Amino acid sequence: MVEEETENLKLNTGDITILYIEDNLSNFELIASMFAERGNVKLMEAMQGGIGLELAREHRPDLVLLDLHLPDIDGDEVLQRLRGDERTKSIPVIVVSADATPHQEERLKHAGAEAYLTKPFNVRELLSVINRALEKKAVETPGAPNGSEPSLASDLSHSSDGA
């Protein structure tokens, strides 16, 4: 299913590191399979919020995908700590959650989330949101350390509207 939806999606970018803070192994494996064919994406996994915070501080990924329901620290708290730390405050955070209430989405965006996607998510939508977040980060931080402007370019002209 993922292969069909992403068959014509391309990543044309420099190296990108994405940290996925998610306690559900199946969800992580879905995202990992989505990026498996794309050698320029390094996907790091943290199954607990505390570990995710440590990885974010140490590795400073280009982007964080954050689940809200974690076993040790709520995703809300993880977002707050990421935003409150000089080392991680500029890293775009995309919240991915099964909670589809508009109040939750608005509250988390106000708290500093770049975007909010509900599970199960549309692969094209996820890639588009990641693309926008990375492009925005590249514009806000010109002369990024890796020397390239990270972006995801998607050729969606031949893709079908999969869910």
More confident residue, 156 or 100: 100
Span 11-35, average pLDDT: 85
Q: Residue 122 half-sphere exposure, CB side, CA atoms within 13 Å?
A: 9
Average pLDDT, the chain: 81
pLDDT in tens, 84-115: 999 999 999 999 998 888 899 999 999 999 99
Dihedral sign for Cα atoms in the order 69, 70, 74, 80: negative
> What is the tally of helices (H) and strands (E) in the chain?
6, 5
Q: What is the pTM of this model?
A: 0.80
Look up residue 36 and give its DSSP letter: T
Q: Is the pLDDT assigned to residue 33 strictly greater than 80?
A: yes
pLDDT in tens, 40-92: 889 999 999 999 999 999 999 999 999 999 999 999 999 999 999 999 999 99
| Least trusted range by pLDDT, from 20-29, 137-146, 152-161 | 152-161
Do 111 and 66 touch, CB atoms closer than 8 A? no
Q: What is the pLDDT of residue 77?
A: 97
Q: Is residue 50 helix, strand or coil? A: helix
Span 133-157, average pLDDT: 55
- List, in order, residues 6 or more apart from 72 with CB less than 8 Å away: 48, 49, 50
